[in-house]
């Protein structure tokens, strides 16, 4: 009986060590994938249709000019 416990202990330690390396490997592979640059996705709710998909209808766009942009002749108010 004294010979079974050390073998059982070694088997449990080997299984736990194997699990630890598997989990660490998954963590390293996912962190490497997160380092790759991805463009940010910013979808406003107004751009979605009733089913939650991006709408294909024509949208009205309003542009406000900043202080450091020169005004064009047709942008100036009369």
What SS3 state is found at 44?
coil
Question: Where in the chain are the domains?
Answer: 4-38
52 torsion bin: left (phi>0), alpha (psi -120 to 50), beta (else): left
- The conformation of residue 72, written as its DSSP 8-state character, comes to P
Residue-level pLDDT at 11: 96
Provide the pLDDT confidence category of residue 78 given band limits of 50, 70 and 90.
very low
Q: Which residue has the higher pLDDT, 76 or 12?
A: 12
Is the full-model pTM beyond 0.85? no
pLDDT digits (tens, 9 = 90+) for 6-49: 999 999 999 999 999 999 988 887 776 667 777 777 788 888 88
Q: Which residue has the higher pLDDT, 67 or 4?
A: 4
């Amino acid at each position: 009986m004294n010979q079974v416990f050390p073998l059982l202990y070694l088997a449990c330690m080997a299984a736990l060590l194997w699990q630890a390396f598997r989990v660490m490997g998954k963590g390293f592979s996912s962190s490497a994938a997160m380092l790759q640059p991805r463009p940010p996705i910013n979808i406003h709710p107004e751009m979605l249709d009733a089913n939650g998909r991006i709408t294909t209808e024509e949208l009205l766009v309003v542009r406000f000019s900043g202080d450091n942009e020169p005004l064009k002749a047709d942008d100036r108010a009369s």
